[in-house]
Structure 1
Amino acid sequence: MLNKTKGIVIQYMKYRESSLLVTIYTAEFGISSYVENGVRSAKAKHKIALFQPLTLLDLEVYHKPGKGLHRISEAKCYYPYRKIPFDIASSSIALFLTEVLSKVLREEEANPVLFSFLEESFQILDQGQGHLENFHLQFLWRLSEFLGFHAGQVGEFLEQLREAGVPGMGDLDAKTVQALFNADYGDGVGVNRVQRAAILRALIYYYGLHMESFGELRSLQVLQEVLS
Structure 2
Amino acid sequence: MLVKTKGIVLHQLKYSETSIIAKVFTLDYGIQSYLVKGARSRKSKISPALFQALSLVEIVAYRKEKSSLHHLKEIKSLHHFQSISVDIVKSSIAIFINELLYRSIKEEEPNPALFEFIFNSVMCFDLAEEKFANFHLIFAIQLTKYLGFYPSGSNTKSTPIFNLVEGMFDSKLNCVHEHIDENGSKNLDQILKLSYENMHQLKINGETRAEISEKIIRYYHHHLPAFENIKSLEVLKTVLS
TM score, norm. by length of structure 2: 0.87
Q: In the alignment, what sits opposite 2:214?
A: 201
Tell me the CA shift for residue 171 of structure 1. 2.7
- In 2, distance between residues paired with 1:94 and 1:83? 11
Q: Which amino acid aligns with 2:209?
A: R
Q: 5+ unaligned residues in a row in structure 1: which ranges?
A: none
Cross-structure match for 1:184: 195
Structure with more contact order per residue of length (Cα contacts < 8 Å, sep ≥ 6): 1
Is residue 169–residue 198 contact of structure 1 (8 Å, CA) maintained in 2? no
Task: Letter of the 2:196 partner, please give it.
Answer: Y
1:153 equivalent in alignment to 2:163: no
Q: Is the 8 A contact 2:160 2:185 kept in 1?
A: no
Alignment correspondent of 1:212: 225
Equivalent in 183, 203, 227 of residue 171 of structure 1? 183
Give the distance between the partners of 1:199 and 1:145, measured in 2 at CA. Answer: 18
Quote the residue 1:80 is aligned against.
Answer: 80
How many residues were matched structurally?
226
Q: Once the 2 structures are TM-superposed, how far is the Cα of residue 106 of structure 1 from its aligned partner? A: 0.8
**Offset, 1:177:** 2.8
Gap regions ≥5 residues in structure 2: 165-174
**Structure 1 residues 141-179: Cα deviation after superposition (integer angstroms, max 9, x where no partner):** 11011011112224469431474345x6243243x4323
Deviating more after overlay: 12-21 vs 37-46? 37-46
2:129, 2:160 → 1: CA distance?
29
- C-alpha offsets along residues 92-129 of structure 1, whole Å, 9 cap, x if unaligned? 10000111111111111111111111011011111123
**Amino acid in the other structure paired with 1:197:** A
CA gap of 1:190–1:36, structure 2 versus 1, over 3 A, is closer
SS of 1:126 mapped into structure 2: helix
- The counterpart of 2:236, out of the listed 215, 223, 227, is 223
CA contact (8 A) 1:171 1:195 kept: no
Q: Quick one: which amino acid aligns to residue 85 of structure 1?
A: S
Map 1:66-145 → 2, pairs under 5 A: 66-145=66-145
Give the distance between the partners of 2:113 and 2:203, measured in 1 at CA. Answer: 29
Change (3 A) 1:130 1:43: closer
TM-score under structure 1 length normalisation: 0.92
Q: Is the CA contact 2:134–2:202 (under 8 Å) kept in the aligned structure 1?
A: no
Distance 2:188 2:103 in 1: 25
Q: Residue 130 of structure 1: CA displacement?
A: 4.2
Determine whether 1:10 maps to 2:10: yes
Q: Residue 222 of structure 1: SS of its match in structure 2? A: helix
Name the SS of the counterpart of 1:12 in structure 2: strand
SS of aligned partner of 1:54: coil
Structure 1 residue 199 displacement after superposition: 2.0
The runs of at least 4 consecutive aligned structure 1 residues that moved more than 6 Å come to: none
Partners of 2:37 and 2:9 in 1: CA distance? 16
Q: 1:157 to 1:189 in 2, by over 3 A?
A: same
* CA deviation after TM superposition for structure 1 residue 136, in Å: 0.5
**In the aligned structure 2, how far is the partner of 1:56 from the partner of 1:152?**
32
Per the TM alignment, residue 63 of structure 1 is displaced from its structure 2 partner at its CA by 1.6
